[in-house]
């Protein structure tokens, strides 16, 4: 099959635009949409130091590569990758290695931080001790550590690898749960003291395009799933969106655009609250003690209870 834009062989059929694209035109189109997302929400501004949340998974590896390719030559910008090692045996070590390899090849500064060093235990240990779901611990502590590390490294933005599929699933999930307050948290935030602004440069590209872009650039992509990954409701929404998109191409963009049209109302309904500093660790929190300190306290208490029993 030929490319719809030139005589070269097509490598990808883009359903939402009904075009076959060759390697060159696919890459151009992908990068154009990344730049569009970046411009639309001022994700990258003059003199920014961008921290990239690099787990070593396919999305974050592609994100690091494409940001380096598109903006790496700008002298006023600076990039640093942060890998959080949660301590998930068998799953995380290979992706940490991938993150090391990728940053070395890109010549990008790279910092690895671990749950064990910062919280005194790995995620595997937390799961054994606590009564919460693995993703609860993982999500709260990872967010905390990423923000703290990014701030200590002097970052002005924190870029994550969320793609169009991730973003539209979250939008729809919040609608289905009637959780409009949580939906409002997806609205790009204003700068707050201590909180590094999070940006999602891949929000305009489909997950499968992220994979194709990565493969076309010979990036080391891994498709392993976290052993704790269990999201039945999200999986149902993902499958629904996939089928709907398959039948009616471009509908994920419709979901995203509808959400964007709601941004002014969401901002008015849920104005961003003034964050305070956690009484224990000083990290930003809506009030009192932050979620990470509360969880850590619970985990320590259950550890002490267990050692008293022995």
Applying CB under 6 A, the residues found at the interface with ligand SF4 are: 134-135, 138-139, 226, 228-229
Query: Which residue number, 55 or 103, has a Cβ lying nearer to ligand SF4?
Result: 55
The smaller minimum CB distance to ligand SF4, of residues 228 and 270, is found at 228
Nearest distance, CB of residue 158 and ligand SF4, angstroms: 17
Query: Which residue, 35 or 132, is less far from ligand SF4 as judged by CB?
Result: 132
Q: Residue 30 Cβ, how far from ligand SF4 at the closest point, in Å?
A: 25
Nearer to ligand SF4, 57 or 201 (CB): 57
- Nearer of residues 57 and 214 to ligand SF4, judged by Cβ: 57
Structure tokens at 259: 């959400």
CB of 183 to ligand SF4, least distance (A): 20
Residue with Cβ nearer ligand SF4 (139 or 271):
139
Smallest gap, in angstroms, from Cβ of residue 230 to ligand SF4? 8
Instruction: Identify whether the C-beta of residue 117 lies closer than 8 Å to the C-beta of residue 148.
Output: no
Alpha carbon distance 179, 170 (integer Å): 11
Q: Shortest gap between Cβ of 59 and ligand SF4 (angstroms)? A: 12
65 vs 62: CA distance, rounded Å? 5
Q: Which residues contact 179 (CB under 8 A, 6 or more apart)?
A: none
User: Which tokens hold the place of 226?
Assistant: 């976290």
Closest separation between CB of residue 225 and ligand SF4, Å? 8
> Would you tell me how many other CB atoms lie within 10 Å of the CB of residue 101?
15
Q: Are 87 and 228 spatial neighbours (Cβ–Cβ below 8 Å)?
A: no
**What are the residues facing 110 on neighbouring strands?**
81
Q: Please list the residues that pair with 196 across neighbouring strands.
A: none
280: number of Cβ within 10 Å: 15
The residue length of the chain stands at 310
Nearest to 226 by CA among 92, 83, 63: 92
């Amino acid at each position: 099959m030929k490319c719809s834009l030139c005589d070269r062989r097509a490598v990808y059929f883009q359903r939402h635009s009904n075009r076959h694209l060759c390697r060159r035109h696919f890459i151009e189109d992908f990068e154009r949409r990344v730049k569009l997302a970046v411009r639309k929400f001022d994700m990258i501004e003059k003199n920014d130091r961008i921290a990239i949340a690099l787990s070593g998974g396919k999305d974050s590896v592609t994100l690091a590569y494409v940001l380096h390719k598109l903006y790496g030559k700008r002298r006023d910008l600076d990039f640093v990758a942060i890998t959080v090692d949660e301590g998930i045996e068998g799953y995380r070590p290979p992706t940490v290695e991938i993150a090391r390899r990728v940053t070395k090849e890109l010549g990008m500064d790279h910092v690895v931080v671990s749950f064990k060093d910062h919280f005194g235990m790995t995620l595997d240990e937390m799961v054994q001790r606590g009564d919460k779901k693995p993703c609860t611990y993982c999500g709260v502590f990872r967010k905390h550590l990423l923000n703290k590390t990014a701030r200590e490294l002097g970052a002005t933005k924190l870029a994550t690898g969320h793609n169009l599929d991730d973003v539209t699933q979250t939008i729809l999930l919040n609608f289905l749960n009637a959780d409009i307050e949580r939906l409002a948290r997806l609205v790009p935030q204003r700068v707050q003291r201590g909180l590094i602004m999070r940006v999602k440069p891949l929000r305009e590209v489909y997950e499968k395009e992220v994979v194709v872009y990565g493969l076309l650039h010979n990036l080391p992509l891994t498709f392993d799933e976290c052993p704790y990954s269990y999201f039945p409701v999200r999986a149902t929404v993902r499958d629904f969106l996939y089928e709907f998109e398959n039948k009616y191409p471009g509908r994920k963009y419709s979901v995203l655009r509808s959400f964007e049209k709601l941004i002014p109302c969401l901002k008015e309904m849920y104005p961003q609250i003034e964050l305070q500093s956690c009484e224990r660790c000083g990290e930003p929190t809506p009030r009192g003690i932050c979620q990470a300190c509360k969880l850590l306290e619970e985990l320590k208490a259950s550890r002490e209870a267990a050692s008293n029993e022995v």
